[in-house]
Structure 1
């Protein structure tokens, strides 16, 4: 509106002034023509008389004339009794002035080369100014209409631009309040729609990340609670035992504390790292290290741990800490809920490596795996399996139940280095 107003002012003020000048000069030219014509007619008469102004022909509409003596006294016609501008005609030229409320032009009347009188042609000055005012009012009205139209257009454009931005502001406020389902409605502004789509996508990603972090935190707390409880029980038992037994209990507690520290470090590493990348992990070496860490606990339970690894396995593209945690969860579940020998097998499945953990126990009840909260058809289970599944999926692998039971088998599918994590599927495992 400011730009439009400035443009209108800069255009209309010079235009109004120019139109006023055109009207003024047009009136002067018309009076000059009438004065010269009347002076020519008066000069053609041999003797000037009081009726010398009569009989003038072809005078413009609204123009009156008067005949004045060289000293400025009116001889005949219309006009004031005396005229100062008529005195100026003695030099033989045309003169104009605003006199007695008239716009007057004086032309000399000559006889034998001598100025004997002057013809004063005039019109009311108000007639000229009225024309000016009409032009100025018309220009002002047009300028006002332009400014009003600009204001309406500016209001429309401002509303059209501001409405999507206000919705984006409300959407951002809702997102800050924890609503990750916000979605901006479509508008007619492409940039605002793109910003709304980006904000909606960011909200969905933030919601997914937050939900995953909540599940991960819950699962990690459960995963750490079990070895911590075992450590406390071992220390309490050591306090009540004899010297020799106490030393063994302390050694066991220290071993459990080391495992707990290692688990904490691995979980912190998993929380800081992102999935993917160019990692290359030796699957057999990782499986052997995990089995070695669990061998003492298996022997204490009077059971046997058997490890089988195929030779010359290609490196896998999955974090070593994730493999360690997943296999630890599977071995702990086999030790806690299973029976008989525990079998850890690492095999080539064509497009990846399968880490299989099985035992001779009854396996999972009918209904399959527990969900992310550890529930299965109303039955409460541990949440170790949901944690292991989330760790596997975050690293581009998959955790599947190859056989629910009896003699259950759980398989961690890890892709080879240089392949897509999604290419390792349960179908490829079943085909193997």
Structure 2
């Protein structure tokens, strides 16, 4: 399908054909009057409004060091992502789902969580993983196919990636109900009270598991925050093929709050997530956050987005790049300077070298490991298959 074809897909009325370089007829980057935002696309601070003022106090708490930390996270997470993409293209990884353009939508909630808060990701949440302390090398191990997931989920309170779209939402609610049963909610102890965050994309909202999770969370008043990264494309399906109302408004039907936040604004993403997490820890129940963002790259490295979206759409979103936005803001405020930025770029270079070396030197696991941990208890069928596989490989010994 060409760029011209894309312009008319899904329409029963003949629409004027636009070339790939022509911008969309409406501003698809406009999140509407309900969207919480603190940084404009050029990095300037947005004045307080009725919409963003309830969250402003969380930003007042951030010292310069914390602000620099957020920008450092954005830069390093983007570098991790670019290395993952390059390694896949060079045949070192089987697949890589890029988060390009969604860094702020992940670093914001990642830094809003406390150590005891538990995250349930999809498979693109490399920025959340970074904030939860999961080494990037472990992410690569999964996509290289040399381990059973890549990390101990209990070590960082960051669950293994979930490839089945949307089912992590039910897992998150189940865990949140366990937290509730353990009495780790509304105790007033900041080191004990726990919340759960469940991450998915806009496409995940069309899954039954997503909607079932919202039902369970609502009726149980579970301490969970549902975080939808609306990157506008569920693989090749645009928003208008996924829903008729924005995801954040869906929370109304389940009986708990929904908020739309500028997902390319790390300050807004952080502040809104802080508020929702504190609400959950305090026993006030679930919240649904829609991070209004954009997937700048392909769905995964096996996808070709030029087949279903026009290049002009991507160009418009490039002007609202989340990393550039925060960089411009902190430079203008004097919180960082060019020397500091050079140091972080040098750190990113070193991180890239470390990741690349770790990926290329990962040992291949013994073949028989593929039969381990399939079931919690020994299983006769798996045992038989493992023996047959061992005999097959033994036939090559000579």
TM-score normalized by the length of structure 1: 0.23
Q: Which has the larger radius of gyration?
A: 1
- Report the TM-score, using the length of structure 2 for normalisation: 0.24
- Structure (1/2) with the larger helix percentage: 1
Q: Which has the higher strand share?
A: 1
